[in-house]
Amino acid sequence: MVFVTTVVVIVNGGDTQCEISKYSRDNNRWSEYMSNIAKAKTEYVPCSPSGSCSSCHDKVIIKDLEIFEGGINKDMIDQAYSLGRLTKYQIIDGKVYRSQDCMFPFRCHGVEHFLSQVLHLLPDTEFVLNTRDWPVVQMRPGVQNPPLPVFSFSKVHTDHMDIMYPAWAFWAGGPAISLYPTGLGRWDQHRISLGQAAKETPWDNKTSTAFFRGSRTSSERDPLVRLSRSCPDVVDARYTKNQAWKSDKDTLGMEPATEVSLESHCSYRYLFNFRGVAASFRLKHLFLCKSVVLHVGDEWLEFWYPDLVPWYHYIPVPNTAKEEEILGLLEFLDENDDLARQIADQGADYVDQHLRMEDVTCYWTKLITAYSKLLTYKIERDPALSEITS
């Protein structure tokens, strides 16, 4: 194994240096990484197989609903809906009804696709659903907020009381860019195309460069982009244009980069995932490339994140990490190729086995069934809602 303490990159004839210092093997940071990986491998207990439904995510339903163990009454539903800009659903006698105020039709369509798959399994129920990126029922220290039942796709467990549901983007909606003008969507199709891309570019053929493309929805992404500018042989990270883009200032002073397909990400060994406004939709796609996923920050969640194990399925990166720490992590992975490849395979296997379309459908069934048992009143048809037909 060859170790290089300092990597020097000359950019445009200048003297910018990419140096490893306090995060290098020389002062024992690598020992910490090795210890974290060994511990994760020893302590990891795979969730038990359960036929066509993964049981990996069941604990999330339990945790999200425990705050409502005293029951959910009609007044709580009405208060939740009165928060505004939310969508109310009813399921009665195997039919779906929805309020007219869906802010994002593609997102509602994505939700309704899965509801239509499991209607025959669901009890009569009603719930309030949030199609915005940001959760709406906040926990405030010292403030007694009522636990209002609102379904949101993402949240921070310590900050929000929202009930997580599988994002619409498993079927429709999601980030809309020029490559995906109606949003990412169709997870079933991406599983096939990304699986093929991973086969076409196996580990030994991947470029040993860290890669990121995305818009500047969070300044947490800035250190990696700056590192890419000073160390382009180590990192290829650039900002793309989004709908809010007005000038190069919005892309950290450089012209926006061209968008890159998800499949093209599979050409790189190290793929960075950052939160956007909330959790990032791209995380599940990156795993299927069989590249090492470096997941920045652990606060924002989707329903399937809690079963992932840092240092076993992915490399965790603090959201406060600066260029120096990122550089040290990348050198560690590059110099420990077998470990890096193993983590890449473990992450890909997890998503391949436990985030199938049937697992998403099963989660909807389990979530609504468990939630509906908490309702303390009989569901009556709301005439303000319209029937949704597929």
Residue 45 pLDDT exceeds 90: yes
Q: Across all residues in the chain, what is the average pLDDT? A: 88
Q: Mean pLDDT over residues 338-359, rounded? A: 97
Q: When comparing pLDDT for 241 and 99, which is higher? A: 99
Q: What angle do CA 320, 325, 330 make, to 5 degrees?
A: 125
Task: Report the percent of the chain where pLDDT is more than 90.
Answer: 71
Q: Encode pLDDT of 265-293 as tens digits.
A: 999 999 999 988 889 899 999 999 999 99
Alpha carbon distance 363, 57 (integer Å) = 8
**Of 15, 93, 101, 133, which residue is the catalytic one?**
133
| Contact in structure between 78 and 347 (CB atoms under 8 Å) | no
Task: List every span in the chain annotated with CATH 3.40.50.
Answer: 6-43+182-301+305-354
Alpha carbon distance 390, 373 (integer Å) = 27
Active site residue 382: no
pLDDT at 49: 65
Q: Mean pLDDT over residues 107-127, rounded? A: 96
Identify the residue whose tokens are 């470096």.
Answer: 294
| HEC-encoded secondary structure of 338-379 | HHHHHHHHHHHHHHHHHCCHHHHHHHHHHHHHHHHCCECCCC
pLDDT at 184: 81
pLDDT at 308: 97
Q: What is the pTM of this model?
A: 0.90
- Which two tokens mark 318? 């603090």
Highest mean pLDDT pick, 6-20, 116-130, 163-177, 178-192:
116-130
Region for 249 from its dihedrals, namely left if φ exceeds 0, alpha if ψ lies in -120 to 50, beta otherwise? alpha
pLDDT at 11: 32
Identify the residue whose tokens are 């009454």.
Answer: 73
pLDDT at 258: 84
Segment among 26-40, 62-76, 94-108, 145-159 with least mean pLDDT: 26-40
pLDDT at 10: 31
Q: When comparing pLDDT for 348 and 250, which is higher? A: 348
Residue 164 pLDDT exceeds 90: yes
Alpha carbon distance 119, 180 (integer Å) = 29
Q: When comparing pLDDT for 15 and 133, which is higher? A: 133
pLDDT at 19: 62
Q: Encode pLDDT of 122-151 as tens digits.
A: 999 999 999 999 999 998 776 667 799 999
Residue 256 pLDDT exceeds 80: no
252: confidence class by pLDDT, cuts 50, 70, 90: low
pLDDT at 247: 64
Identify the residue whose tokens are 């239509």.
Answer: 116
Alpha carbon distance 293, 176 (integer Å) = 23
Which residues, other chains included, contact 345 with Cβ-Cβ below 8 Å and sequence gap of 6+? Answer: 290
pLDDT at 255: 76
pLDDT at 110: 95
What is the per-residue burial (b if ≥16 Cβ within 10 Å, else e) of 229-241?
bbbbebbbbbbbb
Residue 155 pLDDT exceeds 80: yes
pLDDT at 23: 59
25: confidence class by pLDDT, cuts 50, 70, 90: low
Alpha carbon distance 103, 319 (integer Å) = 31
Highest mean pLDDT pick, 20-34, 166-180, 357-371:
357-371
pLDDT at 8: 35
Residue 1 pLDDT exceeds 60: no
Q: Say which CATH class 6-43+182-301+305-354 falls into.
A: alpha beta
Q: When comparing pLDDT for 50 and 58, which is higher? A: 58
Q: When comparing pLDDT for 100 and 374, which is higher? A: 374
pLDDT at 3: 33
pLDDT at 217: 77
pLDDT at 5: 34
pLDDT at 41: 97
Residue 251 pLDDT exceeds 50: yes
